[in-house]
């Protein structure tokens, strides 16, 4: 029931998603009076779906703590409960991000070795695609948190982006070792230690995000959230400036007409709907958050990524890696970091 | 002597800058063997310039503390000393940012009421131009620091951007009051108090940077640095994607040819050289840092902004505003903020 266009875009999105799925089954939590007519229109979805009725919905402006306390029978909470009971392998929601994070932390809990889950997203770069985390789950992060994000992001890049040896960079205000705050410097020291078997590039700067200098960008939730939303805003600004230029004169209009297929291809390359939403990494269960304003195409892409996260056993990979990390750290106590170190 | 193409681009840049200046005089600090032939080629610059010879230069990789300790006779330090002695009203440098900041803090000192200077920059938005600060002088900021940045940024927007009542926003991970860390929440409380006579918009997000939602964006140096460099990187990515599209087929090439004047106008609109460099606000003296890789056009724009900062008496404006702020704070001690509150 979450998202500006739910539940219509959810059912329509599942229909789109099914085109790319061999087999998948869905539990739909929400108002059956709204869902029934939608499922009649999308028979393919109806065949693989089961509706679990509830009237309660978490509103977009609900504060996380309140949602957790009073939203026990909400569509959001019931869908998470289904994952906790192993009735479902993952949950996709376009609802209130803060409420979703609060609920999954309490209900699903973090994987062994993970102190705090992180929000991660994939985005287009000059070199292809990269993943960035955290995007807002943790506004303040210790060095330990950042190291854990690096491990989780690396597993994701290997398993889902299919990279053999993804490179990992720590977002900072400069590349020199002495730059930044205690958290990034502490995390860099641990990641540089070869034991972790991560291809650690070192510090990167904001310009490296678009350049695709590394496959995995690690940062605290405050900086990551601002950086990704800034990128989104600049992309929009450029699209607008381009449209204005291409309609500023008769010649430009004609040029734009001739170049239209090429420009359309360019737009497809950066179509925000293909990079829609974010994964919550580090939890016992797959959790994918679609954008609140997403449409059926965006929701379908969210569902497809969630299915991939399940199929690629990303959480098992994270668990295995943390087992290794913890063994290494026990063997070499110098690597234990604390945010003030 | 600072910057990749100094001192050639400095002298050539001054020549460009003079085209827009009624009267200005320059003190050039550096190697006279290199400067003399350059000034022979640029007579107009030679007529209004005086060379002060020094061999010593601060290298780009010098650490701030070392530059401060051993760079007493460097071109950077001597130019700052000239401002301290009132021989010059401001300094423009394309050299090592960290060293420049360390030196001006010690030599010029901050204005009364300002605890820490901030690095500020102007950038293009959907609505025109906005100013953002801090961009890296302070990786960690208290609520007090952010409030002071807001006051300084507001004065700049009024005096230099010519806005009657500039709006001020605090960069955060969401617009709701409860979002963010203690520093941004504490600063928001003070800025909301009507006493300060600032048009405070409230919290803004990364997307608001490109949208130009507010005239002045206030943030800590870590987030601001990453945000602006991210924007720069995305702009570059878009330019590249656009170029690739426009050469991807014969039709697109023809279209690009017809639209070339319009596309050139668009590029001019976001020409990074026009937004080159950054002001150091809050010091006894005007300090402008041009980009290390800048060319003569970029350096000229830096010089012109520095002259404007002097002519518009921005520092006097900051001093006056801080006098009012401090009076208000004394009358209402509840407004005193601390980073942990």
Q: Are residues A99 and A184 in the same domain?
A: no
My answer on whether omega of the bond before A177 falls inside 30° of 0, hence cis, is no
Q: Which chain B residues contact residue A226 at CB under 8 A?
A: 171, 173, 205-206, 219, 223, 226-227
Residue B339 has pLDDT above 50, yes or no: no
Among partner residues A210, A219, A258, which is closest to B236 by beta-carbon distance?
A210
For each successive 10 residues of chain A (341 residues), what is the average pLDDT?
Answer: 93 94 92 96 96 95 93 97 96 95 96 94 90 94 95 93 95 89 94 81 95 97 95 87 85 85 78 74 95 91 92 88 74 51 32
Asked whether residue B322 is domain-assigned, the answer is yes
ipTM of the complex: 0.86
A230 contacts in chain B (CB < 8 Å): 206-207, 209-210, 227, 230-231, 234
A94 plus A131 within the same structural domain: no
CB contact under 8 A, B262 and A269: no
Q: Token pair 């051993």 is at which residue?
A: B70
Looking at the complex, report in whole angstroms how far the Cα of residue A206 sits from the nearest Cα belonging to chain B.
4
- Asked if the structure places residue A296 within a domain, the reply is no
- Quick check: is B243 in a domain? yes
Among B335, B284, B304, residue whose Cα is nearest residue B88? B284
Residue B257 lies in a domain: yes
In a domain, A283, yes or no: no
Residue A310 lies in a domain: no
Decide if A242 is inside a domain: yes
Question: Which among B65, B59, B220, B247 is positioned nearest to B142, based on CA atoms?
Answer: B220
Pairing of strands B199-204, B216-218: unpaired
DSSP A231-250: HHHHHHHHHHHHHHHHTSSH
**Closest by Cβ to B210, choosing from A206, A222, A236:** A236
Question: In terms of residue numbers, what domain contains A25?
Answer: 8-108
Count of domains observed in chain B: 2
pLDDT digits (tens, 9 = 90+) for B54-96: 999 999 989 999 999 999 999 999 999 999 999 999 999 999 9
pLDDT digits (tens, 9 = 90+) for B322-337: 887 777 666 665 555 4
How many Å apart are CA A170 and CA A219, to the nearest integer?
Answer: 6
Give whichever of B82-91, B122-131, B189-198 has the largest mean pLDDT: B82-91
Residue A202 to residue A220: CA distance in whole angstroms: 16
User: B188 and B40: one domain?
Assistant: no
- Would an 8 Å CB–CB cutoff place B136 in contact with chain A? yes
Judged by a CB distance cut-off of 8 A, whether residue B231 touches chain A is: yes
Same domain, A17 and A77: yes
Residues of A in contact with B278 (CB under 8 A): none
| Contact call for residues B184 and B144 (beta carbons, < 8 A) | no
pLDDT confidence of residue B275: 64
Going through A38-175 in order, the beta strands assigned E by DSSP cover: 49-53, 90-93, 118-124, 129-133, 167-171
Q: Which of A90, A108, A126 is the last residue of a domain?
A: A108
Instruction: State the pLDDT at residue A195.
Output: 66
A177 vs B: CB within 8 A: no
Instruction: Using the predicted structure, report yes or no on whether residue B277 has a pLDDT greater than 50.
Output: yes
Residues A224 and A201 in one domain: yes
A65 touches chain B (CB under 8 A): no
pLDDT band at B338 (very low <50, low <70, confident <90, very high): very low
Q: What is the CATH number of the domain that holds B122?
A: 3.40.718.10
Task: Kindly state the percentage of chain B with pLDDT values over 70.
Answer: 92
Q: What tokens were used for A185? A: 């410097």
**In which region does residue A304 sit, left (phi positive, over 0), alpha (psi from -120 to 50) or beta (all else)?**
alpha
Phi, psi dihedrals of residue A166, rounded to the nearest 5°: -65, 140
Query: Within this chain, do residues B190 and B56 fall inside the same structural domain, yes or no?
Result: no
Q: Among B133, B100, B111, B106, which Cα is nearest to B29's?
A: B100
Structure tokens at B175: 């617009």
> With helix as H, strand as E and coil as C, how does chain B read?
CCCCCCCHHHHHHHHHHHCCCCCCCEEEEECHHHHHHHHHHCHHHHHCEEEEECCCCCCCCCCHHHHHHHCCCCHHHHHHHHHHCCCCCEEEECCCHHHHHHHHHHHCCECCCCCCCEEEEEEECCCCEEEEECCCCCCCCCHHHHHHHHHHHHHHHHHCCCCCCCEEEEECCCCCCCCCCHHHHHHHHHHHCHHHCCEEEEEECCHHHHHCCCCEEECCHHHHHHHHHHHHHHHHHHHHHHHHHHCCCHHHHHHHHHCHHHHHHHHHHCCHHHHCCEEEECECCEEEECCCCCCHHHHHHHHHHHHHHHHCCHHHHHHHHHHHHHHHHHHCHHHCCCCCC
How far is the alpha carbon of A141 from chain B, nearest alpha carbon, in Å? 11
Indicate the residue among A55, A73, A108 that finishes a domain.
A108
For residues B106 and B134, the answer to whether their CB atoms sit within 8 Å is no
Residue B65 within any structural domain of the chain? yes
* End residue of a domain, out of B83, B108, B133: B108
């Amino acid at each position: 029931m979450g998202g500006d266009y739910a539940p219509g875009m959810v059912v329509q999105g599942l229909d789109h998603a099914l085109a790319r799925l061999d087999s998948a089954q869905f539990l739909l939590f929400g108002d059956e009076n709204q869902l029934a007519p939608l499922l009649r229109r999308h028979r393919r979805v109806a065949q693989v779906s089961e509706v679990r009725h509830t009237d309660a919905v978490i509103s977009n402006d609900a504060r996380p703590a309140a949602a957790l306390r009073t939203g026990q029978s909400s569509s959001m909470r019931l869908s998470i409960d289904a994952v906790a009971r192993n009735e479902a392998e993952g949950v996709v929601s376009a609802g209130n991000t803060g409420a979703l994070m609060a609920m999954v932390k309490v209900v699903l809990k973090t994987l062994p070795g993970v102190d705090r889950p992180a929000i991660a997203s994939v985005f287009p770069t000059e070199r292809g695609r990269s993943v960035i985390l955290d995007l807002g789950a943790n506004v303040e992060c210790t060095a330990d948190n950042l190291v854990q994000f690096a491990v989780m992001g690396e597993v994701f890049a290997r398993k889902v982006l299919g990279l053999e040896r993804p490179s990992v960079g720590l977002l900072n205000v400069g590349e020199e070792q002495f730059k930044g705050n205690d958290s990034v410097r502490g995390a860099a020291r641990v990641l540089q230690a070869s034991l972790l078997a991560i291809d650690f590039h070192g510090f990167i700067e904001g310009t490296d995000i678009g350049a695709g200098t590394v496959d995995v960008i690690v940062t605290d939730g405050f900086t990551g959230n601002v950086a990704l939303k800034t990128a989104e805003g600049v992309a929009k600004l450029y699209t607008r400036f381009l449209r204005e230029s291409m309609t500023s004169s008769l010649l430009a209009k004609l040029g734009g007409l001739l170049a239209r297929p090429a420009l359309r291809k360019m737009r497809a390359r950066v179509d925000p709907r293909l990079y829609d939403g974010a994964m919550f990494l580090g939890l016992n269960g797959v959790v994918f958050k679609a954008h609140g304003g997403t449409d059926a195409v965006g929701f379908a892409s969210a569902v497809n990524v969630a299915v991939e996260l399940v199929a690629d056993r990303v959480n098992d990979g994270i668990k295995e890696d943390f087992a290794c990390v913890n063994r290494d750290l026990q063997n070499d106590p110098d690597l234990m970091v604390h945010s003030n170190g």
